[in-house]
Amino acid sequence: MKLFRHGELGAERPGLVAPDGSHRDLSGVIDEIGGSVLLSSGLEHLRGLDPSALPELQPGFRFGACVGQVPKFICVGLNYSDHAAETGADVPPEPVLFMKGVNAICGPNDNIEIPRGSTKTDWEVELGVVIGKPAKYVTEQEALSHVAGYCVVHDVSERGFQMEHQGQWVKGKSHDTFGPIGPYLVTQEDVADPHTLDIWLEVDGHRYQNGNTCTMIYKVPFLISYISRFMTLQTGDIISTGTPPGVGLGQKPPVYLNPGQDIWLGIQDLGEQRQRTVQA
Q: What is the mean pLDDT of residues 268-277?
A: 98
Domain-wise residue ranges, the chain:
68-279
**In this structure, what are the phi and psi dihedrals at residue 146, rounded to the nearest 5 degrees?**
-100, 5
Q: What is the mean pLDDT of the chain?
A: 96
d(Cα 216, Cα 21) in Å, to the nearest integer? 31
**pLDDT tens-digit map of 217-234:** 999 999 999 999 999 999
For position 184, what pLDDT does the model report?
98
Percent of the chain with pLDDT over 70: 99
CATH for the stretch 68-279: 3.90.850.10
**pLDDT tens-digit map of 76-101:** 998 997 777 777 777 889 999 999 99
Q: What is the mean pLDDT of residues 39-55?
A: 97
For position 237, what pLDDT does the model report?
98
Percent of the chain with pLDDT over 90: 92
For the entire predicted model, the pTM comes to: 0.96
For position 91, what pLDDT does the model report?
80
Please return the burial class of 209, using the count of CB atoms within 10 Å of its CB with bins 0-12, 13-18 and 19+. buried
Q: Which residues pair with 209 in a beta bridge?
A: 201
Higher pLDDT, 166 or 101: 101
